[in-house]
Structure 1
Amino acid sequence: MAMGSLSDSEDDFNPEINTTPLVDVMLVLLIIFIITVPVMNHNVKLDLPRATSQPNQTQPENINLSIDAQGKTYWNNEVIDDTELKSRIAVAAQKEPQPELHLHAERTTQYEKIAQVMSAAQSGGLGKIGFVTNPQGK
């Protein structure tokens, strides 16, 4: 008696799938892939030059504005009066990029004078004001 058949006769149609041709096709495809994969991965190494590119940013100049204890104002170590201060602030505000105002003041300088300079800078159009301090506390 044959395995898997329901009838006793040997001449009946066998409904089982014959996997031998399927295995043959699979082995042929495997051999084709084994041969073609090294060809596909063949590459040429090139030593290309490396270049970096960064935008050239111009740094704005800094304006050193100092106020001493007597209330004198110094624009980059040059003594100026209040009208000259306002005109220089207006000119500096028009520059692109806008410079940063670094404000130096002595410890005994009256706050009213510092507030006037800050008000003149704001009304003149300068948007960047920095306070410079002395780390030694002198």
Structure 2
Amino acid sequence: MGMNVGMEQSGEDIPMSDINTTPLVDVMLVLLIIFLIAIPIVLETVPVKLPEVVFEPTETKPENVNLSVRGGPGGTCEVYWDLTPMNSEELLDAAVAKLEDTIEKAGGVENITEENMPEAHIRGDVDTPYKCIGGAIFTMQRAGFARVGFISEPPAGTAVERL
């Protein structure tokens, strides 16, 4: 290993104070290559246990909208507002009318809070295609519902604690 020296104006050699970064770059490149090789191996061998689902009981308020969605014959979607079957346009119109009625009862938009804003609860059949449930979510959000949630059943034999 040598030492670099530089010339001073008076003609004498003085040591240079610049840091030699070549060894640092070499070490960093070696570490990068090691990590690029080691990470895929680690990711493939890590056992993963999925989290268990915690069910929170929903508060059913009378102003909430209950939708049931299931797949129909021929790849169609069936959407029910409570027990009334609806297509996309009827669902949008009914949702907008529901929100307008809620705003009118509250006395204007300025009186709407999170507590008195209705929610949309969707019950989706297990075999329902995603496009059906996604379409119902999109329609309710397009109508102005800020909170859209899913209703599910806890697995058999599990107890639900009430807070």
| Contact 2:121-2:148 at 8 Å conserved across structures | yes
Which residue is equivalent to 2:54?
A: none
Give TM-score, length-normalised by structure 2: 0.45
How many residue pairs align between the two structures? 79
> In the aligned structure 1, how far is the partner of 2:137 from the partner of 2:70?
15
The answer for the alignment partner of 1:54 in structure 2 is none
Task: Give the counterpart letter for 1:109 in structure 2.
Answer: T
Alignment match, 2:124? 105
Q: Deviations over 1:81-131 (max 9, x none)?
A: 111101011112221432111100001101011111111111111111110
CA RMSD of aligned residues (A): 1.7
Of all paired residues, the percent bearing the same amino acid is: 27
Which consecutive residues of structure 2, in runs of 5 or more, have no partner in the other structure? Answer: 1-60, 104-115, 157-163
TM-score (norm 1): 0.52
- Per-residue Cα deviation, 1:21-63 (whole angstroms, up to 9, x for no partner): xxxxxxxxxxxxxxxxxxxxxxxxxxxxxxxxxxxxxx55121
Q: Secondary structure at the match of 1:90?
A: helix
Q: Counterpart in 2 of 1:93?
A: 99
- 8 Å Cα contact 2:71-2:132 kept in structure 1: no
| Segments of 4+ moved more than 3 angstroms | none
Gaps spanning 5+ residues in structure 1: where? 1-58
Instruction: Give the Cα–Cα distance (whole angstroms) in 2 for the partners of residues 128 and 92 of structure 1.
Output: 14
Tell me which residue corresponds to 1:114.
133
Instruction: Looking at secondary structure, tell me which structure has more helix per residue.
Output: 2
Is 2:88 aligned against 1:82? yes
Residue 64 of structure 2 aligns with which residue? 62
